[in-house]
Amino acid sequence: MPDSITDHYSTHLDGHQILSQIDSHYPQGPDLYQLAPIDQLHTGGIKASERLLSHLSEGQQVLDIGSGLGGVMRLIAERASCQVTGIDLTHSFNHLNTEIGQRWNSDIAMQTATADGQSLPFTTHCFDRVLYQHSLVNMPDKSAALNEAARVLKPDGQVILHELIQGPAYQDLQYPVPWASKAENSHLMTEYDLQHLLNKAGFSQLAVNNWSDDARQWRQRQLSKENGNAVKTAPLSPALVLGEGFKQMGRNIMQGLACDAIQVIEVIARH
């Protein structure tokens, strides 16, 4: 995977300031909602992540591909009592994920690794669930990624996707967006192509739910906050991860959802 993807996510990341803000404002340890402005940056925020928990059971081995700063990992570990492993191509994310996790709950140990989702460093049949949350968007070779997910899943395991896909007016999407600064770095696919690749990788019993309406409503609420003082006065802000350009990214996401350039879907598939 090209270095430009890791550069996109690490260029504006201010890990020192993030940890300083956490230590200053949450000396007893932050909770999941206090961390959400920096570790739940996908469309739909932490509420969207909570909806995914119904597909998990206590004690399962879960792989979070593209784990970022670990928000979904912590949510799964706390609420679903699963054993969570996270991988991300951006090493600075993984390091900061570990630091934040120690401040959040030092009693819950979670594995993180710097790795490429298109070539997983795990043995065959070792996870009950594989999760993609707005991470397949950054993988040019989605066929390789889904084949790898199938390989590491145990028999009858499931892949869970909360992903952005192309809408009918994809050509009207404006940049930058959180996952790409320009069109050539955006690797969204259509729902049809995604389902085709899942079937080709051996997945079946696909359940597809379109979350675009909820995503639009959530983004509109976030836009109101960003246009006010809430983000400016909050201890933690997406700007500490994405830079000040996050506001324009948010506006472009809103525009993309409004004109149907992009859609948000949940897909559950069994292997």
Average pLDDT over residues 160-164: 97
Where does the pLDDT of residue 120 fall: very low under 50, low under 70, confident under 90, or very high at 90 and above?
A: very high
Phi then psi dihedrals of residue 263, to 5 deg: -135, 160
The answer to which of 12-21, 59-68, 223-232 has the lowest mean pLDDT is 223-232
Q: Which helix (H) or strand (E) holds 162?
A: strand 153-166
What confidence score (pLDDT) does residue 4 get? 72
What confidence score (pLDDT) does residue 2 get? 41
Q: Where are the domains of the chain?
A: 3-270
What confidence score (pLDDT) does residue 7 get? 86
**Is a pLDDT exceeding 70 seen at residue 3?**
no
**Is a pLDDT exceeding 80 seen at residue 228?**
no
**Is a pLDDT exceeding 80 seen at residue 230?**
no
Residue with token string 């948010």 = 250
Closest CA to 73 of 95, 53, 43, 47: 53
What confidence score (pLDDT) does residue 144 get? 97
Domain 3-270 belongs in CATH node 3.30.420.40 = no
Chain length of the chain: 271
Closest CA to 114 of 1, 240, 15, 4: 1
Angle at 238 (CA atoms; ends 85, 115), nearest 5 degrees: 30
Q: How high is the mean pLDDT of the chain? A: 94
How confident is the model over 66-94, as pLDDT tens digits? 999 999 999 999 999 999 999 999 999 99
> Residue 55: is it exposed, middle or buried by C-beta count within 10 angstroms (0-12/13-18/19+)?
middle
Angle at 48 (CA atoms; ends 47, 53), nearest 5 degrees: 95
CA–CA distance, 256 with 260 (Å, rounded to integer) = 6
